[in-house]
Amino acid sequence: LLKDARSQDDPGLLRLVFEYLPISFSRRHGDPSRPWNQFSINIKNRDGSKVLDYQGNWRDIFQNWEALTRSFPDFLPSIIAKFLNASTADGFNPYRITNDGIDWEVIEPDNPWSGIGYWGDHQIVYLDRLLRAQNAHGPTWLASNLGDTTYSFADVPYRMVPYDQLVRDPKSTLEYDVGAEAEVAKRVHAIGADGKLLADSQGNVVHVSLLEKLLIPALAKISNFVPRGGIWMNTQRPEWNDANNALVGHGLSMVTLAHLRRYVELLAVHTEGSEVSYPISSEVAVWAEAVARALESSDPNPDDEERARIIHALGTAFDQYRSTVYQHGLSRPQMMESETVHRLCRAALEHLESAIRRARRADGLYHAYNLLRFSEDHTRAHVAHLPEMLEGQVAAISSGLLDMDEVVVLLEAMYVSPLYREDVDSFLLYPARTRPSFVERNVIPPDLVQANPLLTALLESGSDTVLTRDITGVHHFYAGFRNAHDLETALDRLSGGEFAALVAEHRASTLDVFEQVFHHHEFTGRSSTMYGYEGIGSVYWHMVAKLLVAIQESILESEGGSVDELKRLYERVRQGLGFNKSAVQYGAFPTDPYSHTPPHAGAQQPGMTGQVKEELLTRWAELGLTVANGSIRFTSVLLDDREFRGEAGELSYLDVNNDARSVDVEAGSAAFTICQVPVVVHGGRTDRRIVVTYADGTEHEVPGLTLNAATSRQIFDRDGHISRLDVFFPAVE
């Protein structure tokens, strides 16, 4: 089908064919009361036949599909296309994906919970993982397709406000363009789902190169880079852990920065030393050049003034790009040399890697999220740290910057840190904390009152518009204040009367007192206020499983040296997972996936959590199988004796034609399938070899433990030529 589509020389047809996926529903994730989790589960037609239909939020669709691609690797280019074709020209993604296209949140004037925004980390994290999986299975695909101009943009009617407005109020940064929404609706009525894609002045879908689609999300994140701080979370939505949703606006993510480092490294590798030029829209080329210049002229370790200058330079470059695209769209492409892209990547990597190195704490852990605060005139930008979080440690390992020894040091530090919860032998999302009691809240320390002439004057006058003194003499801010904006409104009212001079002189210090009492600037969300739902004292099992993935990747990517200590720590993390516990220890059936374990109960919220996906990813190497450079490889580095059967048995499976089959498995062996081809691993042998059995019954013996790319491709393509693999290992390492 793809071959026929290419022969038509129609980029729109090729795009539609290329992103087609014969996939049905996988799993529902999360609370269905949340709008991004509301979708239909259609698995059969009325006559009982299967329906190829999928719906889901962006994050969960693509994390599900990452695990799916281990069994269907030929889907990877189409999944990447689906991912990229649904991202916007300003570098973000809508919140829902279906087999019919994309969907986004709309403003509902009568719904107080209505809101719009873009999640930040999902895009870079999952795109990087999909690209790396494709590199493993088809290492030439990315380089040979960077100039392919069959990729589109989602035309989401959100408009980021101008940069100067964003700096003034980073919590309110997106506007809903009703006019743009109406234009999209007209196109959808005329041509269907393609009407939701960015169109040119003639109404045709805009198509750009693969490289341009890969550059734009990187540029969007780099344009929000805060040196030694993280990626500025200013698109009205939290990151992967929405228990930290209050970080929006002031929060800086070292988590996204760490994954961005790995993503930019991938782009750098594929443009280094190349003399090829690629078509890039001129607006994107101008943006990329401005970002590169800003980074090259900046110190990776700045003071507050230099930090503000860098933020403004990057933010202005992004602002100018957005303004042009919002008003005029994208113009014809120009050719960009690989070296220009590589130069941008080198400049970005210098800053990103410096930020990760500087994020290492005195206790050996890494900062996960930080806080940004500008001076009143925006000429200085200060970064403050939040407490340690498990996400930061996983991201640091996943960044690819730490070597094997550094990962070992980090993991050992984690086991003696407040993140470790001994009773469950695993890690908290964040250290447990004790919340102040009700009567301990909203208490203004006496010295702060006495040091503020405005507050003392208000007390003496008997005014309770800003603060009161209770019968015990304790001072409190007015109970009706919800936030600092309410306090500012009260101060504005006082500015017209007898307190005008005091308000003018002490407004800023009064707001500082309010912040010292409530700490709203560093409020993270339910993670710091609730004892369940991934809150205080909770082990969130999906994040622990992500840690396992990160450690395994570090082991498999290690070059030289002994991995014994890292393997020991991998095993310790693995032993802490629920399936290794008794029902009493876990508080639930151990092999069922649960969301989290709070401090006061057993595992809570059963369901097909993302932990399942992570453990599918780690399982292959635990059974001895890896894929790299287009070849299936076997290694005993993580293969444990427990995987081998104590007595003879049988593996039942469905082959590539979905016919039920079985193979005998002798004692001392292990068996599983890859792409519906059975693999029998024989341990304790004297040699290393693979026996390939073909469908016609012939056998071919391969010395060593690596299949060549051609043989591996037959398995990836599921063409039915290979019916079985037998792998012979010496004793497990």
- The three-state (H, E, C) secondary structure of 173-205, written as one string: CEEECHHHHHHHHHHHHHHCHHHHECECCCCCE
Shared domain check, 631 and 510:
no
Q: Is residue 261 located within the same domain as residue 318?
A: yes
Residues 485 and 392 in one domain: no
Close Cβ partners of 217 (under 8 Å, ≥ 6 residues apart): 87, 91, 92, 123, 124, 127
**Residue 226 in domain:** yes
Tell me: do 713 and 639 sit in the same domain. Answer: yes
Q: Is the pLDDT of residue 142 over 70?
A: yes
Highest-confidence segment of 24-38, 89-103, 106-120, 528-542? 89-103
* Tally of domains within the chain: 3
What pLDDT shows up at residue 64?
86
End-to-end CA distance of the chain: 46
The CATH number given to whatever domain includes residue 125 is: 1.50.10
Q: What is the pLDDT of residue 26?
A: 62
Closest residue by Cα to residue 716 from 32, 72, 14: 72
Give the position of tokens 């050719």: 335
Within 8 A by CB and 6+ apart from 691, the residues are: 699, 700, 701, 702, 725, 726, 728
Cα–Cα dist 304/294, whole Å: 16
pLDDT at position 457: 95
Q: Are residues 395 and 451 in the same domain?
A: no
How far is 526 from 119, CA to CA, in rounded Å? Answer: 18
How sure is the predictor about 60, in pLDDT bands with cuts at 50, 70 and 90?
confident
| Stronger pLDDT, 730 or 421, i.e. the higher one | 421
Report if residue 535 sits inside a domain: no
Question: Mean per-residue pLDDT for 375-382?
Answer: 95
Q: What percent of the chain has pLDDT over 70?
A: 96
Q: Does 24 have pLDDT greater than 90?
A: no
Q: State yes or no: pLDDT of 554 exceeds 60.
A: yes
| Predicted confidence (pLDDT) at residue 29 exceeds the cutoff of 80 | no
Give pTM, 2 decimals. Answer: 0.93
Q: In this structure, is residue 668 part of a structural domain?
A: yes
The verdict on residue 571 lying in a domain is no
Residue bearing tokens 């991995």: 563
Give yes or no for residue 28 having a pLDDT over 60.
no
User: What pLDDT does residue 248 have?
Assistant: 87
In a domain, 211, yes or no: yes
Neighbouring residues of 541: CB distance < 8 A, sequence distance ≥ 6? 577, 578, 593, 594, 595, 596, 597, 603, 609, 611
Cα 239 to Cα 255: distance, rounded to the nearest angstrom: 9
Mean of pLDDT values over 695-702: 97
> pLDDT for 436-495, tens place per residue?
888 899 999 999 999 999 999 999 999 999 999 999 999 999 999 999 999 999 999 999
Rounded Cα distance, 60 and 34, in Å: 14
What is the spatial order of strands in the sheet that 689-694 belongs to? 669-674, 677-682, 722-728, 689-694, 699-703
Separation between Cα atoms, residue 6 and residue 76, nearest integer Å: 18
pLDDT at position 123 is 80
- Inter-residue contact 74 to 44 (CB < 8 Å): no
Average pLDDT, the chain: 92
- Residue 581 within a domain: no
Pairwise CA distance, residues 87 & 620, whole Å: 31
The last residue of a domain, from among 375, 401, 427 = 401
Residue 560 has pLDDT above 70, yes or no: no
Whether residue 30 is contained in a domain is answered as: yes
Q: Residue 18 sits in which domain range? A: 2-401
Domain boundary among 481, 496, 522: 522
The least confident of 106-115, 471-480, 666-675 is: 106-115
373-381, long-range: CB < 8 A, 24+ apart = 373/250, 373/521, 374/167, 374/308, 375/304, 375/308, 376/508, 378/167, 378/308, 378/312, 379/305, 379/308, 380/304, 380/305, 380/307, 380/308, 381/226, 381/304, 381/307, 381/308, 381/311
Q: Per-residue confidence at 254, pLDDT binned at 50, 70, 90?
A: very high
Q: How many CB atoms lie within 10 A of CB 537?
A: 18
Listed range (65-79, 335-349, 547-561) with the worst mean pLDDT: 547-561
Residue 121 reports pLDDT greater than 80 = no
Neighbours of 512 (CB within 10 A): 14
- The pLDDT of residue 321: 98
Verify that 386 and 459 share a domain, yes or no: no
Residue 733 pLDDT grade (very low, low, confident, very high; cuts 50, 70, 90): low
Indicate if 310 and 443 belong to the same structural domain: no
> 110 and 174 share a domain?
yes
pLDDT of residue 521: 82
Residue that finishes a domain, picked among 471, 505, 522: 522
Q: pLDDT over 90 for what percent of the chain?
A: 75
- Secondary structure of residue 679 in the 3-state scheme: strand
Average pLDDT of the residues in 583-611 = 86
Whole-number Å distance between alpha carbons of 280 and 259: 24
Residue 56's pLDDT is 79
Whether the pLDDT of residue 393 is over 60: the answer is yes
* Vertex 261: Cα angle to 207 and 292 (nearest 5): 65
Token couple for 32: 């269905």
Residues 369 and 456 reside in one and the same domain: no
Q: Are residues 393 and 444 in the same domain?
A: no
Task: Indicate whether 70 and 188 sit together in one domain.
Answer: yes
Q: Tell whether 431 is covered by a domain.
A: no
| Whether residues 356 and 461 fall in one domain | no
